[in-house]
Amino acid sequence: MKVLLSWLKEFIPDLDHDPEEIGEKLSALGLAVESMEVVGSELPGVVVGKILDLRPHPNAERIQLVDVDLGNGEATQICCGAFNMQIGDFIPVATVGSTLPDGMEIAQRKLRGELSNGMCCSASEIGLGDDSDGIMILSENDPDREWDIGSSVSDTLGLESDILWDLEVNANRPDAMSISGVARDLAASLGLPFKFPMDLNGNPQVTLEAGIQIEIEDPTLCGRFLACVVKGITVGPSPQWLQNRLIHLGMRPINNVVDISNYVMLELGQPNHTYDLHKIKGSRLGTRRAKVGERLLTLDGLERTLSEIDGVIVDGDDNPVGIAGIMGGASSEISESTTEIIIEVAWWDPPSISRSVKNLNLMSEASMRFRRGADYGINMERALNRVVELLSETCEPEMSKILETNGNLPDTSPVGISNERVNGLLGTSLTSEEMMDLLQSIGFESQEVISKDEDENSSANNFQVIVPSWRWDTQTETDLAEEIARTFGYERIERTIPRGPFTGQLSRFQKGRRTVRQILIGTGCDETMPMPFLAPGDLENAGLSSTAISISNPLVQEESLLRTSLMPGQLKIISYNQSHRIKKLKFFEIGHVYLPSEDDQLLPDEREYLSISIAGGDATQIVAILDMISLTMAFPNMQLKQQEIEGLHPGRSAQVFVAGQERGAVGEIDPRVLRNYGIDDSVAWLELDLGSILAGPFGKKKYTSVSKYPSSDIDLAFEVPDDTSSASVAGCLRKAGGTYLKEVQLFDSYKADTANEGVRSLAYSLRFQSDVGTLTDAEVSELRAACISEVEQKTNAKLRE
């Protein structure tokens, strides 16, 4: 909502504060100032010019040559990039030597060989509104006006220096969507009197019979409906001062009737609609819910198909002439020939308008106010009268009395307030009188509750508040506590710190996750955090199942799916970094994946995965990191099971099991997948369902006393078929070695010889030690024999002699 200082002053006559201070007050009231600017400054050297001729530029297609008369009767040539003007139009021209509000200095220039002696200006270039779309045609809405060619544009338009604030108005402040509402709050916070400048009762005089009927058919849709007939209208341009204000607040002037309707909406926050009386069949306006499939051509020129979610205003034939609270219909639009009109002001049920806005995907200035809850009180009559009052500046309107009919209006019963509860919520110690005074300053009337009971309990109400009709949002004691806090000033509330009963700490899960991160940065991995969206084809390119949850309203195709694996995102990161010639890429990520639920759950099966990827790395490197994590975190019974896994190199991939559950995969990315992602190196890969692992069960680290006796080391080498895992050989060794076997370490693996294909040699060093005495040579060789025999019996490995 934009507000002008001069306009606020009409409601706060004593307002003479510094604009900076006013801005700070507005922000402190919850009307955050998004911008403040000085507008309508003097424009020396910017004059009214008349277009005498328009010619193409001989050397440039996007520029035309404009001959303007600047008051001396001669043609002055200007090069101009806009094409929206016609010969005979009057436009603002910045003459050579002038300076525009944005600091641009105008000099004679040559553009592609043609002289330009000044600049044709858009509205925004002369500091009047935001419209920079084409040159401002002064005569557009007022072709009959006599223009004083060469005169100052700021004098001609009556531009006066003013301050314009753009305020952020929250959804709970219907009143602040108007100049008067902002002024009411501001006056209260500055301790100045607030008043409506327009006389509610005196004018204009009622001289007509209305001659129309109004009716509310659905009282849940429309709470109040007012209309009056006005005759003696001459449609033409509205007064320049009014046009200027509309432009400053971001609206485009059209004609007096439409402009005044908009002006009153901005001033009083009361959307209102004008109909051409003769285009309303049956001289009747009714309101009802729309029928499914009902159609209406709206003022913006589009045909809308309605449903029972929407409300309509209908004529005597029950045909829609407007969408309730959002936009009028084209059929009864004001035209140049309109002389008699109906002005209508209504109060629509905010949730109904909100749903309709969403249903039709149609937002308007009116709906923005109705969905927040417009004023349902005397302000509606004030708005009607104000429209007629302003019309009388450009024509001689005659007005009928105002017709009124009511539906369901908000509950207006007083809201009880407990002084103690409000202070208990805010942390203040205000008296009831102070609270009542604060509310009074913004128009909330209250009265003290005289307690009949002397020993009233603490939660009893101390006073009652009547919520004014412009604050539909305010319904409860808590709502009123906010108004008390706001007018009291948040900054004046004493700051305290609550002392909870808890010792703050991370959960076991959260501590574990932090430890995993620390381990990984210790191994040289950089943490990545890509967005969790995928493009169609990303999963297939990674060799993974394409089943993924899709986004209903993606902005771009690249973000239309939710990831089911961290792999596509990581491959893109590696590809990106390689294309920037960055070396030694070791990345990890801990992030959510969203698996389709297998049962009837509404939400996806969301899991927190860990991935590690090493460009140029091989599977053994990443298994070593996995071991490091597993041992540090004491993952219970972490095991690898070699097998083919989608997306991974078929010969270099294994499932990871923790506590008997499959929890991920490790290996190297399938080279065909790498090719899809434009990666020309190998990529070692690990993906773990870290969230599930960290949820437990947990392994235990426990103490065993260190043996005091000497140990004996032996080496054993086996010929092992390729499909027999080292893990199974080592498992046999451990089983046979029992508690005497303190360490097993694979220290060599090589292809034995070409004659023995499919077999490799694995060499282990074993350390035996007893906790109760020194092992004899005989005992060690017994253990050795047991180990060999276990391996040879349980696997296809043979001792290498």
Which of positions 22-41 make contact with other proteins (CB under 8 A)?
Answer: 27-30, 32
CB of 588 to other proteins, least distance (A): 8
Max intra-chain CA distance, the chain: 128
112-171 residues in contact with other proteins (CB under 8 A) are 170-171
Which of 549, 659 has the CB closer to other proteins?
A: 549
Q: Which of 413, 505, 704, 754 binds other proteins (CB under 8 A)?
A: 505
Binding to other proteins by residue 371, rule CB under 8 A?
yes
Binding to other proteins by residue 499, rule CB under 8 A?
yes
Q: Which of 161, 220, 447, 476 binds other proteins (CB under 8 A)?
A: 476
Q: Which of 201, 413, 458, 507 binds other proteins (CB under 8 A)?
A: 507
Question: Cα dihedral sign for 352, 358, 363, 369?
Answer: positive
Binding to other proteins by residue 530, rule CB under 8 A?
yes
CB of 583 to other proteins, least distance (A): 9
Which of 396, 558 has the CB closer to other proteins?
A: 558
**Beta carbons of 417 and 462 less than 8 angstroms apart:** yes
Which one-letter amino acid corresponds to residue 190? Answer: L
Binding to other proteins by residue 532, rule CB under 8 A?
yes
Binding to other proteins by residue 551, rule CB under 8 A?
yes
Which of 241, 576 has the CB closer to other proteins?
A: 576
CB of 340 to other proteins, least distance (A): 36
Which of 66, 323 has the CB closer to other proteins?
A: 323
* Cα separation values, 44 from 153, 156, 247, Å: 9, 12, 21
Binding to other proteins by residue 624, rule CB under 8 A?
no
Question: Which one of the spans 107-115, 270-278, 352-360, 677-685 is the region binding other proteins (CB under 8 A)?
Answer: 352-360
Which of 142, 168 has the CB closer to other proteins?
A: 168
H-helix or E-strand spanning residue 258: helix 256-268
CB of 633 to other proteins, least distance (A): 17
Binding to other proteins by residue 598, rule CB under 8 A?
no
Structure tokens at 218: 């659905």
Q: Which of 191, 413, 602, 704 binds other proteins (CB under 8 A)?
A: 602
Q: Which residues contact 571 (CB under 8 A, 6 or more apart)?
A: 542, 613, 669, 673, 674, 677, 679, 683
Residue 468 preceded by cis peptide, ω within 30: no
**Beta carbons of 113 and 58 less than 8 angstroms apart:** yes
Tell me, by CB under 8 A, how many residues bind other proteins.
90
Cα atoms in the 13 Å half-sphere on the side-chain side of 411: 7
Q: Which of 514, 641, 708, 751 binds other proteins (CB under 8 A)?
A: 514
Binding to other proteins by residue 559, rule CB under 8 A?
yes
Say how many residues make up the chain.
Answer: 801
* Cα separation values, 649 from 519, 542, 646, 654, 724, Å: 26, 12, 8, 10, 18
E strands present in 659-740: 661-669, 683-688, 712-721
Question: Dihedral through CA 139, CA 142, CA 148, CA 154, nearest 10?
Answer: -80
Which of 148, 456 has the CB closer to other proteins?
A: 456
CB of 31 to other proteins, least distance (A): 8
Q: Which of 58, 191, 293, 504 binds other proteins (CB under 8 A)?
A: 504
Binding to other proteins by residue 528, rule CB under 8 A?
yes
CB of 172 to other proteins, least distance (A): 4
446-465 residues in contact with other proteins (CB under 8 A) are 459
What's the rounded Cα separation, in Å, for the pair 767 and 293?
Answer: 86
424: left (phi over 0), alpha (psi -120 to 50) or beta: alpha
What's the rounded Cα separation, in Å, for the pair 782 and 784?
Answer: 5
Binding to other proteins by residue 531, rule CB under 8 A?
yes
Binding to other proteins by residue 512, rule CB under 8 A?
no
376-435 residues in contact with other proteins (CB under 8 A) are 424-428
Name the one residue in this structure whose structure tokens are 């205003």: 313
Binding to other proteins by residue 186, rule CB under 8 A?
no
Binding to other proteins by residue 604, rule CB under 8 A?
yes
Binding to other proteins by residue 637, rule CB under 8 A?
no
H-helix or E-strand spanning residue 227: strand 222-231
Residue 204 preceded by cis peptide, ω within 30: yes
477-496 residues in contact with other proteins (CB under 8 A) are 478-479, 481-482, 485-486, 490-491, 493-496
CB of 444 to other proteins, least distance (A): 15
Kindly give the residue spans of alpha helices, DSSP state H, lying in 397-470: 419-426, 432-440
CB of 89 to other proteins, least distance (A): 39
Give the gyration radius of the chain's Cα atoms.
Answer: 40
